[in-house]
Structure 1
């Protein structure tokens, strides 16, 4: 165990949410095996995280949220992910899904997000179908990767809007898509999450069948402006939604460095076993490179997050800002994976056992890298923007 067993000293001006994360981290780390085996976040731990405010980080202050600076959101998700990747992933999903509160009409936002312990989740990808009817939509759909849904009171689902059985088009070749919110009572959860990594996220399928959703419980991150006019919601919508992804990667990678650093003075070089692997030049070089790689990726991430937020306060977010922000996300995740791979390799046979957190880091990071918002195709899209080429930039 390399997570500190006592809370870190609170720094002057540190936000209470960050203080709570540092206090909770040792407890979360101690329950990693339980979380992994259960294949979901335990309900009591989810409640404790909610009570600490981790799912209210991006809810507007006017609705009782914290409306944190995005760099603080990154720090909080990174720290909890360092303790346990699955827990960090669930916090990321719940915290950032709550951005919907700034897009919903005020009565709906207060009804859903007014409770201080509410947890929301879901899937924004338009895998459902919503037939336009009087007062709202009749929705049927099934969504994969509904992380943390077992502890949610409300779940979001992305849909294609239908009219008379055909997709309603916003322009030629482009159907209208929206995000709808369902109370948990309207949703069937399917236990399909038998995955290689992030095993404790409970990311099974969610399904609704012919459910009515009133229009006030729908929003569009593509064509609608947020109803709460504050700098945080001036960030690119999908940039805000994906803010926690690189933070999860950075946290997992930091844990991998922690684990190898703790192991290296203890594990002996075989076959003679006279010296610790910490004396091997290859291990020394790997740790040095890993430290530089991780901190450089984190610095780039924080630079772009801060720059984009400053532009949002001036209402001057450009396509270049959007592209660079997403580049920082993808770069951080890919850099984190390289760090974890190297630390796992240097640990040798000791890392393959279930008792080693390094094997969990390896599995978790390589599931996290598969998320569409930080996958290889994002670099192609970003590169086209940086080169001044035409591209579909709606999802940036």
Structure 2
């Protein structure tokens, strides 16, 4: 593993956006049942989060954003997800999508991100087709998992570029680009009837033969950021995925909170009214969960800071990128193990809808299904760490 340099965990002082996340978290927690039932983030809450700057965390300062250190982005998302998993997920999608502002030509970046309360979202997976035409592309596609899209003014979709119906090749791979659509050009399908993260509104988005000017498209694979900043020296896929482990860690911390509170209230009839907290198996589970969560979090922050520091010197290697993805996957899957243990330790109480632990269980196991942190990522990472040839384009 790469030896980390002696870098600070985060810049000194509390960032105002992180302070805003702490202030808004109780509001999200209080509306958790409403969010779950509505299957989307309420528009007024989304706007309050936007006005607090939570969707502008990685927008360039030149465009009115904050260019926050990735470690601070993790903390803000973790704070919101601890209060409500769906809120954390929606803010994560909107916030990391906004990284595209650093790649877009300045006029388009200002057009899309000029309003201080704008929310963008979408799906980067190349599930669309973009036919080359004069001045741009005509894009058709349908993308699932368009989280938070109901509150967005712009949505992006990934697509394979075609000419006369045939994929345009870049070496051995088809060319893939991201395309921005104003919300008026997008049809949203209410398909989000899911096991967990129910309040994220992650239904399908669809466009049909929509013209997108060439300057409103970009590639984070083949193009460099247009904004010179330490933040955009961080790996593009790393910045895109940094919020997933943050949300997972927040959900897991909530699970420990809930089990701890329950254990000091619930009495076991079969044990003569003894508190659940006095049960050795519960004590062991809480101790193990605490160590697992904090170790995963420490590895995540260590790797994020090491990679960020390398990015400031333009020295990010394939190994840095592999270890960063390893930290993402490890943190997310460790968080799932923590939630599982807290749910099991709670006993039958946890199965009821009134229990936050059942929601933590459902939410975390939807988060683990994201392709960015799937078990298969470990095969690719292991290949890099073993010095084998591997396709690392998506790291």
Tell me the TM-score normalized by structure 1: 0.96
What residue in structure 2 maps to residue 215 of structure 1?
Answer: 214
Give the 3 Å change call, closer, same or farther, for CA 12–139 of structure 1 in structure 2: closer
Distance in 2 (alpha carbons) for counterparts of 1:135 and 1:84: 43
Give the 3 Å change call, closer, same or farther, for CA 65–157 of structure 1 in structure 2: same
The superposition leaves residues 278-335 of structure 1 with CA deviations (integer Å, 9 ceiling, x where unpaired) of 0001000100000000000000000000000000001100011000000000000000
State whether structure 2 residue 393 is matched by structure 1 residue 394.
yes
State whether structure 2 residue 50 is matched by structure 1 residue 50.
yes
| Per-residue deviation, 1:156 | 0.5
What residue in structure 1 maps to residue 190 of structure 2?
Answer: 191
RMSD of Structure 2 on Structure 1 (CA): 0.9
The superposition leaves residues 174-231 of structure 1 with CA deviations (integer Å, 9 ceiling, x where unpaired) of 1000000000000000000000000000000000001000001000011000000111
What residue in structure 2 maps to residue 344 of structure 1?
Answer: 343
Alignment of 1:141-290 (within 5 A): 141-172=141-172, 174-290=173-289
| Per-residue deviation, 1:21 | 0.8
Distance in 2 (alpha carbons) for counterparts of 1:238 and 1:14: 26
Distance in 1 (alpha carbons) for counterparts of 2:54 and 2:127: 28
What residue in structure 1 maps to residue 8 of structure 2?
Answer: none
Distance in 2 (alpha carbons) for counterparts of 1:117 and 1:146: 19
| Per-residue deviation, 1:273 | 4.3
Distance in 1 (alpha carbons) for counterparts of 2:94 and 2:78: 14
SS for the counterpart of 2:208 is: strand
SS for the counterpart of 2:381 is: helix
Distance in 2 (alpha carbons) for counterparts of 1:216 and 1:310: 31
| Per-residue deviation, 1:33 | 0.4
Give the 3 Å change call, closer, same or farther, for CA 328–12 of structure 1 in structure 2: closer
| Per-residue deviation, 1:270 | 3.2
Tell me the TM-score normalized by structure 2: 0.97
Alignment of 1:13-162 (within 5 A): 13-162=13-162
> Unaligned stretches of 5+ in structure 2?
1-10
The superposition leaves residues 126-178 of structure 1 with CA deviations (integer Å, 9 ceiling, x where unpaired) of 00000000000001000000000000000000000000110000113x10000
Distance in 1 (alpha carbons) for counterparts of 2:318 and 2:106: 29
Q: Which runs of 4+ in 1 moved over 4 A?
A: none
What residue in structure 1 maps to residue 5 of structure 2?
Answer: none
What residue in structure 2 maps to residue 375 of structure 1?
Answer: 374
Distance in 1 (alpha carbons) for counterparts of 2:152 and 2:211: 19
**What is the aligned length?**
385
SS for the counterpart of 1:271 is: helix
| Per-residue deviation, 1:272 | 4.8
Distance in 1 (alpha carbons) for counterparts of 2:73 and 2:103: 19
The superposition leaves residues 248-283 of structure 1 with CA deviations (integer Å, 9 ceiling, x where unpaired) of 000000000000000001111232541001000100
Distance in 2 (alpha carbons) for counterparts of 1:15 and 1:214: 36
Distance in 1 (alpha carbons) for counterparts of 2:273 and 2:148: 47
Distance in 2 (alpha carbons) for counterparts of 1:171 and 1:273: 71
What residue in structure 1 maps to residue 4 of structure 2?
Answer: none
SS for the counterpart of 2:141 is: strand
> Unaligned stretches of 5+ in structure 1?
1-10
